[in-house]
Amino acid sequence: MTEPNQTAQSQRNQVPIQCPNCGTQYQTPVISMLDVGAYPELRSYFLSGQLNVAECPSCQTPVMLEVPIVYHDPRAEFLAIYFPQQLNIPEMEKQKMIGELTQSLMRSLPPEQRKGYFFSPRQFVSRQSLADAIYGTMGISQDELDRQRKKSRLVEQLQVFADDPKGLQMMVKQNEKDLDGEFFSILAAMLEQAGAMGDEKMAGRLTMLRDNLMPLTAWGKKAQRQRAAVESLKDLKTPEEFLDRIIAADEDEATAITLAARPALDYEFFQALTARVDAATGAEKERLTRLREQLLTLTQNLDEATRASVEDSVQTLQEIINSPSPRSAVREHIDDIDDVFMTVLSRNMQAAQEKKDEALLQRLSMVYDEIMGMMQQSAPPEVQFINELVMAPYPDGTRKLLADNREMVTPELVDLIGQMADEMTRNEGEDAAEMVKRLRDIRAQAMLMI
């Protein structure tokens, strides 16, 4: 099971537990205070059901530990106490413990952060009811949650038929309207969670279900056509061939190509498309005219969304670097950090370096290092190990690291290094080329140890 990163260690207590399956007694950590203002990653661990889950060291049986929890989100001004109903503690003692937990949280915060809502924390007796309230603070309505849970249950039902083609076809016919993009997103999230928890059997079952559902559902067929359309771009060599490919595509394929290759739909592209429209007649002229309008609208919407995203990222970065504690501000804005934000950060670091603004560069570098540290801590062990290898001196340092961690050097690790190198080849620049070479050199070293 993937655990919260090391920054949350101060939130933990060790408790004794006896395995319900084999009787083994062991100590396991539990987290009883979730201040997502300081440790945003704890929110996702709670919502995904990975918080306070112990695994028996003897038989690997997982056990969900039900303990009182304080949940605090300062941005939403939301303070909650989860007190499991099954603990069956007298009301007077329960209220005393709630008061102690709340006071403990207040003492951990500076005076200016202690507000009125601390004196009326919301109380919950089930994980689901607390989870629903947390989703509410994130702008997700109860109707959305109910719909998503219905589809999560459908995933579980369909798992039974993952290797039964006839049964799966029957289930698809009965539930076709629910097998949409949201369903496949939920399926992907469940697959990712199974992988994060090391449940290879469940991950394999969900992968089989996904692959077998794709050609059976309207959404899956559409996704397959779109993927094939994007893949076909690799074989195109000229702008004329690119234009021919889009003209030959249906509406869904044209949308997928535009999303994947927006820079190629430039002024010259639309000039060439207009020339085709002018040269066509009848129904073909009408079709190409509709296609041009579709592509113009789509590119305009994409550009507007990109501009808005960049503006949001610029504002977020300004808030972080102007904060008294940029490292803490990074954690507060963790949900706002994406590829666009990292691009904005990188460009600002480059500009500060060119202007020789050492003070600004230092703060920007601090933000970058904090983000990289959080990504490293939350990454799977294999990815963390590969990152260590990339940072180590080559060849002696990498060879020693591989030898010292021989148990991690598996065919799966070698495949993952190869996949990362292949992904990196899509990037341009000397840094990307150097990283590809480093990954492939490390892969070669690792192969010799298998």
> What residues pair up with 261 in beta bridges, in sequence order?
none
Q: What sign results for the dihedral spanned by CA atoms 163, 167, 173, 177? A: negative
* Cα distance between residue 377 and residue 389, in whole Å: 15
Q: How open is the CA angle 419-425-427, to the nearest 5 degrees?
A: 125
Count of beta carbons in the 10 Å neighbourhood of residue 111: 6
pLDDT at 98 (0 to 100) = 79
pLDDT surpassing 70 at residue 2:
no
> What residues pair up with 80 in beta bridges, in sequence order?
71, 122
Count of beta carbons in the 10 Å neighbourhood of residue 418: 15
- Phi, psi torsion values for 49, nearest 5 degrees: 75, 20
Q: What is the pLDDT of residues 412-428, one digit of tens each?
A: 888 888 888 877 776 65
* Cα distance between residue 338 and residue 313, in whole Å: 9
Q: How much is the average pLDDT of 267-281?
A: 96
pLDDT band for 213, please (50, 70, 90 cuts). Answer: very high
Q: How much is the average pLDDT of 218-224?
A: 92
Q: What sign results for the dihedral spanned by CA atoms 107, 112, 116, 122? A: negative
pLDDT at 157 (0 to 100) = 94
Distances (CA, A) of 44 to 41, 65, 315: 6, 17, 25
pLDDT at 378 (0 to 100) = 62
* Cα distance between residue 299 and residue 294, in whole Å: 9
Comparing 333 with 212, the larger pLDDT belongs to: 212
Pair 31, 40: CB distance under 8 Å: no
Percentage with pLDDT > 90 across the chain: 39
- The pTM score is 0.61
pLDDT surpassing 80 at residue 395:
yes
Q: How much is the average pLDDT of 133-155?
A: 90
Both structure tokens of 382: 């294999």
pLDDT at 325 (0 to 100) = 84
pLDDT at 6 (0 to 100) = 40
- 275: nearest Cα among 290, 262, 283, 285: 285
Rg (CA), the chain: 26
pLDDT surpassing 90 at residue 179:
yes
- What contacts 356, CB < 8 A, 6 or more positions away? none
pLDDT band for 247, please (50, 70, 90 cuts). Answer: very high
pLDDT surpassing 90 at residue 111:
no
- What contacts 400, CB < 8 A, 6 or more positions away? 392
